[in-house]
Amino acid sequence: MLRSEWGLQPKHERFILESEKGVVNLYMEKNNPVQTKAAKSAHRRKKVTIGVIAILIALIAAGAAYLLTQQKKAAPADQPSFNSTNSKATDLADNGDYGGQIQQYKDYLATNPSTTDKAKAMMQIAAAQANDGKYDEAIASYNEVVKLDASYKLAVAHGLANVYIIKGDNQKAIDQLKEAIAITKAQGGTDTDIRIANDESAIKGLEKGLNK
């Protein structure tokens, strides 16, 4: 709020900006016949500056309130954990209810939009879709996993290879296994030779099927 009152001397007027952030005092001569046009202009600019400051304070306060509201929305207290969701989904899969298993993970992602387990949940959805005979959906889900987290490339390559084998598309399955071999070589680690040998053996078996 901007108000004015007499200053320390009768010819001075004090302009006061009051806000929750404090008080700003400005002293200007009142009705001074020698006040120049430039001084009047400076006086007006100070008034404008005070108004801008007040607007900025209001915007900052509104922005802080909005961010706080968004944080509360992003992390409700009743969010299910991935482990509890995975346990329920596994029970459904054991009973052959792949549709229910898929829905468990989808519900988890819907209620946990900021979860760090998004790729893990999507990986489970893809596998469940493949088990449920929804091969094209499984392929799309596997591709989505890599977009979410590139560290799943090897698991996705094997997952896609399995889907293509079930679909009878041996060539695409071979391509995925070759991709898996390249990733394994790049990553290194323990049992690298064994994992590469297993994929190469699978490729040879698929190639025989192509040559029949």
**Whether residue 54 sits in one domain with residue 153:** no
| Pair 69, 121 in one domain | no
Residue-number span of the structural domain to which 179 is assigned: 82-211
Of the residues 48, 74, 100, which one is the last residue of a structural domain?
74
Report which of residues 26 and 106 the model is more confident about.
106
Residues 138 and 105 in one domain: yes
Q: Which pLDDT score is estimated for 59? A: 52
- pLDDT value, residue 211: 76
pTM over 0.85: no
Q: At 182, which CATH number?
A: 1.25.40.10
- Residue 202 shares a structural domain with residue 108: yes
Same domain, 70 and 86: no
In a shared domain, residues 98 and 167:
yes
What span, in angstroms and rounded, lies between the C-alpha atoms of 78 and 111?
9
Answer yes or no: do 28 and 125 share one domain: no
What are the helix (H) ranges across the chain? Answer: 37-74, 82-94, 98-111, 118-131, 135-148, 153-167, 170-187, 192-211
- pLDDT given for residue 156 in this prediction: 96
Is residue 36 left, alpha or beta, with left meaning phi > 0 and alpha meaning psi from -120 to 50? Answer: beta
What tens digit of pLDDT does each residue of 116-142 get?
Answer: 999 999 999 999 999 999 999 999 999
Structure confidence at residue 80 as a pLDDT band (50, 70, 90) = confident
- Is residue 204 pLDDT above 80, yes or no? yes
Confidence of residue 64 (pLDDT cuts 50, 70, 90): low
> At 25, is the pLDDT very low, low, confident or very high (cuts 50, 70, 90)?
very low
Q: Who contacts 8 (Cβ-Cβ below 8 Å, separation ≥6)?
A: 27
Average pLDDT, rounded, for the chain? 77
Give the whole-number percent of the chain exceeding pLDDT 90.
55
CA angle 110, 115, 118 (to 5 degrees): 75
Position 45 pLDDT exceeds 60: no
Q: Are residues 110 and 129 in the same domain?
A: yes
Mean pLDDT of 13-37: 46
The number of domains in the chain is: 2
Average pLDDT value for residue range 37-42: 49
- Higher pLDDT: 25 or 155? It is 155
Confidence category of residue 210, pLDDT binned at 50, 70, 90: confident
Shared domain check, 104 and 197: yes
Claim to verify: residue 105 and residue 30 sit in the same structural domain: no
> Of the residues 74, 90, 113, which one is the last residue of a structural domain?
74
Q: What DSSP assignment string belongs to 78-121? A: TPPPHHHHHHHHHHHHHTT-HHHHHHHHHHHHHH-TT-TTHHHH
Q: pLDDT (tens digit, 9 = 90+) per residue, 140-184?
A: 999 999 999 999 999 999 999 999 999 999 999 999 999 999 999
Of 173, 174, 162, give the one whose Cα is nearest residue 131. Answer: 162
Please check whether residues 100 and 195 belong to one and the same domain.
Answer: yes
The predicted model gives 38-66 an average pLDDT of: 53
The percentage of residues in the chain with a pLDDT greater than 70, rounded to a whole number, is 62
**CA 130 vs CA 55, 94, 119, 126, 205: distances in Å:** 57, 15, 17, 6, 21
